[in-house]
Amino acid sequence: MPNLKDIEKRINSVRSTKQITRTMEMVAAAKIRRANERVEAATPYADSMAEMLAHVAELVKGSDCALLQTHDEVKCTLIVAVVSDRGLAGGFNANVLRRVERLMKEKAAIGIQTHLIACGKKAVGYFNYRKIKPVLEFRDLSADPTVEEAASIAAYAIEGYTSGAIDEVVVVYNHAKNAAEQVLREERILPVDTGVLLAAREGTYHRELKAERDSAQEKARLHGEFAFEPSAEAVLDRLAPAYVKTTLYHALIDSAAGEQGARRNAMKSATDNATEMVDTLTRIYNRVRQGAITTEISEIVGGAAALEE
């Protein structure tokens, strides 16, 4: 049976930990709102970019745009792993890292070479420990991604794809479905598939077109005649790289929002567990204390009875 001092020390330790997890929960909750606002502000632009690219590609059928052309054979895949710089977020990082590692093994099993871009310290440390050297590494940006980070990734991916060194580009990250739930996503961003850009389906970050866009007037406006300067092909060549950069940036900020939601959930669970542990330890403390008092009373009573005899 533990003594009272040990139990009291344990209770104080758990209460101290509870204060830390509670504080981290509140900080994450405060950051969720800003992160979600950032995603909501960027999504209409991403939707419009996808819509515009799809319509221009439809008008310019048979385009020679390199980013829209599927390579005859996939020999090399570039994987972009998006995780966080810090832990204490439950399975947020582990889900992405395990999926990326499994994807690399699947590609290797069929003879496809893989290159890796690691976004977040956890990805950098995870793969470096396993002797997998990322071609690009990004640290200290997971909670506040920048356009420059997305531009660097897009530039590397586009250059490799157009030169033929890379045949496919896939991004793996956690989508912030809501403040409490994150969904693992694996999206192929190169080659650009214009056939699915406007499709409303779960598993892509593009929102469904608004109901009013289904009206006859809106359809007439979207599918009217357009004048391109200098040409539709040139516009498409400029839109495709911008779309790739926009898609990557949206994935980065979406992951950042998911990170804060996952951390809040993890810290809330830790706080609840700490509360339950303190209650359990308090009951044990009271039981031991009551037992000690009962023993002392019994000894006093027994001693007094012995003196009377």
- For the record, the structure tokens of 262 come out as 């996952």
Range(s) of the chain covered by CATH 3.40.1380.10: 31-262
- For the record, the structure tokens of 211 come out as 């109901």
Cβ count within 10 A of residue 222: 12
* pLDDT at 49 (0 to 100): 80
Give the residue from 270, 254, 225, 261 showing the smallest Cα distance to 43.
254
What is the SS3 assignment for 184? strand
- Is CATH 3.40.1380.10 what the domain over 31-262 is classified as, yes or no? yes
Dist. CA 91–CA 307, nearest whole Å: 67
Dist. CA 297–CA 305, nearest whole Å: 12
* pLDDT at 144 (0 to 100): 87
* pLDDT at 78 (0 to 100): 94
With 50 as the cut, is the pLDDT of residue 163 above it? Answer: yes
Q: Which listed CATH number (1.50.10.10, 3.40.50.80, 1.10.3210.10, 1.10.287.80) goes with 4-25+264-301?
A: 1.10.287.80
Alpha helices in 60-136 (DSSP H): 92-109, 121-129
* pLDDT at 104 (0 to 100): 92
With 90 as the cut, is the pLDDT of residue 52 above it? Answer: no
Close Cβ partners of 21 (under 8 Å, ≥ 6 residues apart): 267, 270, 271, 274
Residue 38 near residue 145 (C-beta atoms within 8 A): no
Reported as a pLDDT band with limits 50, 70 and 90, residue 219 is very low
Q: Across residues 182-207, what is the average pLDDT?
A: 66
Close Cβ partners of 168 (under 8 Å, ≥ 6 residues apart): 71, 74, 76, 77, 78, 188, 190, 191
Select the highest-mean-pLDDT range: 33-37, 222-226, 272-276. 272-276
* pLDDT at 209 (0 to 100): 38
With 70 as the cut, is the pLDDT of residue 224 above it? Answer: no
Pairing of strands 182-190, 168-176: antiparallel
Strand order in the sheet with 168-176: 136-138, 113-119, 76-82, 168-176, 182-190
Give the residue from 106, 101, 95 showing the smallest Cα distance to 116.
101
Q: Across residues 202-230, what is the average pLDDT?
A: 50
Q: What is the pTM of this model?
A: 0.79
Range(s) of the chain covered by CATH 1.10.287.80: 4-25+264-301
Q: Across residues 67-96, what is the average pLDDT?
A: 88
Dist. CA 289–CA 292, nearest whole Å: 5
Backbone dihedral region for residue 83 (phi beyond 0: left; psi -120 to 50: alpha; all else: beta): beta
For the chain, percent of residues with pLDDT exceeding 70: 87
* pLDDT at 62 (0 to 100): 60
Q: Across residues 32-40, what is the average pLDDT?
A: 85
